[in-house]
Amino acid sequence: MPNYKIADLIVNMDCKSDMLLSRGKPYQVSDALKPDLVFTLDEKRVKYYLDKYPQMNNNEWEYMLYGSDFYNALTGYNGMLLHASAVVVDDRAYLFSAPCGTGKSTHTSLWLKLFGDRAYIINDDKPAIRIIDGVPYVYGTPFSGKHDISKNTRVRLGGICFITQSPENEISPMDSQDVIVAVMEQTIRNLSLEHMDKMLTVLDEVLSSVKVYSLKCNMDISAARLSYETMSGEKFNG
């Protein structure tokens, strides 16, 4: 089974589907490395989901189930999942989270338009967050959503923002209780009590390092400028 380096962990996965094999290729490393995590899929488990949700095929379920297993295990390595689009500018990653269809990817695309070559997407759907030596980092992963936009690198976390649509642009800090509720809606929901406790510990460290905001925004590029200037503390210099 091939090894992959994901979020600075050596992950051994018995991938068979074209979807995950293709997305995992930039993350593949030597088979001689000792894995931190080893995952295999029980055929009965895959069949259960295929029978229950026939609108998704075997390729998609392998991708989904391996992703779920990885992000569950990540809590044991000072890590967590946040369903978000993560954009990088000047060596800081900014995560924009929201329910599907709200416009998080549209918002980060405005950052790409605003900053040009200074910006890129590190992961458009399921970035990993890990605390390394007390510092929160964002990682690209092969679990990268329908558009498969991902980069195999890590970048220091600069801020997190939860998006809602609005005719006018407005951004404000969130208090800790509201952040916890928002995160719980946009992370893995089937965590065991042990993994949940570990994830909340990671979240507590994240909140001690970066600010979390609520952004009401439209689809104008001014929304990207507002969120950048607020989260980075820097004036846009285009």
Domain boundary among 77, 92, 121: 77
pLDDT at 191: 79
211 shares a domain with 147 = yes
Cut 0.85: pTM above it: yes
Is there a contact between 57 and 122 (Cβ–Cβ < 8 Å)? no
134 shares a domain with 17 = no
For the chain, 238 residues long, give each residue's pLDDT as a single digit of tens: 899 999 999 999 988 888 899 999 999 999 999 999 999 998 899 899 999 999 999 889 999 999 999 999 999 999 999 999 999 999 999 999 988 878 899 999 999 999 999 999 999 999 999 999 999 999 999 998 888 899 999 999 999 999 999 999 999 999 988 999 999 999 987 778 888 899 999 999 999 999 999 999 999 999 999 999 999 999 988 6
Please tell me the total count of domains within the chain.
Answer: 2
Residue/partner pairs of 226-232 with CB below 8 Å, 24 or more apart = 226/169, 226/171, 227/94, 227/96, 227/107, 227/161, 227/171, 228/89, 228/94, 228/111, 228/114, 228/115, 230/171, 231/94, 231/158, 231/159, 231/161, 232/89, 232/90, 232/92, 232/94, 232/158, 232/159
Q: Which domain holds residue 7?
A: 3-77
200 shares a domain with 98 = yes
The residue type at 232: S
Parallel, antiparallel or unpaired: strands 154-165 and 212-217: parallel
Residue 138 belongs to a domain:
yes
pLDDT at 160: 98
91 shares a domain with 55 = no
95 shares a domain with 14 = no
109 shares a domain with 40 = no
CATH number (domain holding residue 165)? 3.90.228.20
Give the residue ranges of DSSP H helices in 97-220: 104-115, 176-185, 193-207
Domain boundary among 77, 101, 133: 77
Residue 58 belongs to a domain:
yes
53 shares a domain with 162 = no
pLDDT at 194: 87
Residue 238 belongs to a domain:
no
111 shares a domain with 53 = no
Residue 228 belongs to a domain:
yes
Domain boundary among 55, 77, 99: 77
